[in-house]
Structure 1
């Protein structure tokens, strides 16, 4: 059963203003992506009643954060002068070892990274102390609810409320984010995203990183960030963050695409009762093929800004790979890094919940078709 009530952008804006008591969203450039997203949600996503309720709440919360960001910047203009140094954005198709590599590198005492609780709640609540106790409590509760809605998700992707998390969750507040077509069937939004100028969104990503650093002076270290979303805007990332390297994780799309289709099927079931694995598999196979074609063009223009890591190496010799990446970033690895890497690997063994199985055929794909469609990529990088 799908809902009969449509999401309405003016209503969402009004709700956010009423909830916060604020009215300044700043530059209204975000209205285009928001309008495209909401139209796609209304016409394509087949939201369930629960999905409609959750989505309306989520979009309102993102708009509230936009209002609160502008208010914080008005009250504390020094935030806009905070230096942000991004050492690396870890990219690659999903399910290519990028999460393991990110969490390993984030353990290094030489870098910092976005954490799950703070990308969910990046701004302090009124009266909240520097320990961020309210936001951490809400993040734990949010993780508990998510686990109830998607009980099998932990077998696909280990998530902890206080561990490193993708910075794309900060980009959600710009409504320019791969998160949306991962959680919902919104193909027209996905088409728009691939052709959009993402520079305003990445300027705001910098502002969110400034806010996190402003709240905690110990975050003055260079950032190591991660999300496959950045493959859709490689040139923009490199232009916006001077000195940033793209750390590209490589794995055969024959394994990566069905694995991600399995994850998307689990995530989207929270929001819709009409989840078609075949449709999901074909959408993401085509989406990733076009994304990797764009990546190849961007890489050929600035090859010195890229670091390559292969999935098999990350799995078989993770500490060695992490040391190599640090070295490529100009951060000399030492005993403290090695100890941190080993400690994380031990913790990771206790956090993992299980494994999952999948096959291309489960998603309307075939091994032969995937080899053919991604031959241009595998012949160069694998």
Structure 2
């Protein structure tokens, strides 16, 4: 990926997001169009009509997704304060999700045997943000016998029309373009969370096809949608996720799967039902080190789509949300078999990553052979910290203090014996 001059470090200008000149000019023209009524709000029925027209398909199967889509769109229109560029990107993403659902339904009707595919053993990394989950995910996914969702698959999980099975070069090309687009819009974001077209990606992006994921609240100001989402039964979304994994396995088979997203911490009870073969890994790190980092990541992410980013509101929302993730995951673990869970310390992962990978394989009942060890070792050497620039942030930008963080998360530190990080 080319981003021009190397970025030395991120900035903390959350309320004034970076805008390339062409994008700034487009937004200025778009605001005029909005005032004139030319650039309309996102409309659910128009999205569905466009998806059917562009795909040439009509059948979604069960259309239960309409309710979450409607709640999300209404929240975006009322609360997100999108720039014209942000609105265009969100329309494209939502429309793309609907097209993917149409193509998935067509594929399943043509190949019903997909439903019978065995996913093998499944390792699910369900740790909090900034606790080493990305590093661990990439170490596990390096194994030739381990299947992970790749970034290009997350953007287009279903084969494109006339795409030969096993030859997804058009989808990979689209992902390369998307990677370059994000680097152009927000070069600082790569210093916080690299988004590379050929690297493993979070499967929360597959849950986006159900319009039931934390992605919107991590990238947009959509409090109404976020509150609504917490009250819903997520079983249909996870059931659809399982179907999508089978579709991906049908395209590129592997013996086992590794999944990863903090979103899973909120719904471990559903995961245990829908994925009875899963082994769940929870990573842990000092909340004093993770909280500001994650708030900075969310603030930078929101700045891609909106000119109105309130860093302190981001912190208020996610302090409560992370507390909810902690509480709900602990509650589930206290009520079920502990043999389904393994804990990994961020500090052990940093000091000896290969031994932690071996621990997880043993826990999941998967042989840790020579090829898996060599693949993990090679990946560990490639993951150079700060290769896109250094991520810097200040708790004061978010109205946070160390005492406030400790007060909010002390129960989590005690529960898992998490040390203070110097």
- Which TM-score applies when normalising by structure 2? 0.87
Cross-structure match for 1:19: 54
- Could you say which residue in structure 1 is the equivalent of 2:275? 241
Partner Cα separation in structure 1 for residue 129 and residue 289 of structure 2? 10
1:259 aligns with 2:290: no
Please tell me whether residue 277 in structure 1 is matched to residue 311 in structure 2.
yes
Deviates more, 1:171-180 or 1:107-116: 107-116
* Separation in structure 1 between the aligned mates of residue 162 and residue 385 of structure 2, nearest angstrom: 36
CA distance in 1, matches of 2:188, 2:380: 22
Is 1:132 aligned with 2:174? no
Equivalent in the alignment of 2:333: 299
Mapped pair 1:324 → 2:339:
no
Question: Which structure 1 residue ranges, 5 or more long, are not aligned?
Answer: none
Task: Say whether the 8 Å CA contact 1:90–1:225 is kept in structure 2.
Answer: yes
- Decide which structure has greater helix share: 1
Alpha-carbon distance between aligned partners in 1 of 2:89 and 2:133, rounded to the nearest angstrom: 28
What CA distance in whole angstroms lies between the structure 1 residues aligned with 2:121 and 2:365?
12
Could you say what secondary structure the match of 1:319 adopts?
A: helix
Tell me what 1:206 maps to: 242
Contact 2:121 2:364 in 1 (8 A): no
Distance 1:20 1:114 in 2: 23
Q: Which residue of 2 aligns with 1:111?
A: 146
Q: Does 2:98 match 1:63?
A: yes
Q: CA deviation at 1:155?
A: 0.7
Q: Which runs of 4+ in 1 moved over 4 A?
A: 1-4
The equivalent position to 2:345 in structure 1, one of 294, 303, 310, is 310
1:163 paired with 2:199, answer yes
Aligned residue runs from structure 1 range 23-42, under 5 A: 23-42=58-77
* 2:220 equivalent among 184, 205, 224: 184
User: What residue number does 1:339 align with?
Assistant: 374
Cα deviation for residue 27 of structure 1 reads 0.9
Structure 2 CA distance for aligned equivalents of residues 195 and 313 of structure 1: 36
Q: What is the RMSD of the two structures over their aligned residues, measured on CA atoms?
A: 1.5
Contact 2:191/2:386, CA 8 A, preserved across alignment: no
Counterpart Cα distance in 2 of 1:345 and 1:81: 35
Deviation at 1:318, TM superposition (A): 1.0
Question: Is structure 2 residue 127 aligned with structure 1 residue 92?
Answer: yes
Residue-pair matches, total: 380
- Secondary structure in 2 matching 1:349: coil
- The 1:163/1:106 distance shift into structure 2, 3 A limit, reads same
**Which residue of structure 1 lines up, in the alignment, with residue 182 of structure 2?**
146
Pick the aligned partner of 2:209 from 162, 170, 173: 173
Q: Does 1:377 align with 2:412?
A: yes
Q: Distance in 2 between matches of 1:361 and 1:300?
A: 35
Give how far 1:297 is off: 0.3
Q: Please state how far the C-alpha of 1:226 moved relative to its aligned partner.
A: 0.4
Note the residue ranges of structure 2 that are not aligned, 5 or more in a row.
1-27
Q: Deviations over 1:71-105 (max 9, x none)?
A: 11112212222222342110111111000001001
CA distance in 1, matches of 2:319, 2:221: 14
- Indicate if the aligned counterparts of 1:314 and 1:321 stay in contact, CA closer than 8 A: yes
* Cross-structure match for 1:72: 107
1:332 CA displacement:
2.9
Deviates more, 1:264-273 or 1:341-350: 341-350
Question: Take 2:170 and 2:302, find their aligned partners in 1: how far apart are those partners?
Answer: 28
CA contact (8 A) 1:279 1:364 kept: no
Q: Distance in 1 between matches of 2:120 and 2:70?
A: 32
Q: Is the 8 A contact 1:289 1:374 kept in 2?
A: yes
1:7 partnered with 2:42 = yes
- 8 Å CA contact 1:158, 1:351 repeated in 2: no
Kept in 2: contact 1:231–1:292 (CA 8 A): yes
- CA distance in 1: counterparts of 2:240 and 2:299, whole angstroms: 30
- The whole-number CA distance in structure 2 between the counterparts of 1:9 and 1:159 is 28
Map Cα deviations across residues 190-230 of structure 1 (whole Å, 9 max, x no partner). 111222110000111011111111112xx231101100111
CA contact (8 A) 2:145 2:254 kept: no
Distance 1:152 1:231, change over 3 A: same
Partner of 1:250: 284
TM-score by length of 1: 0.96
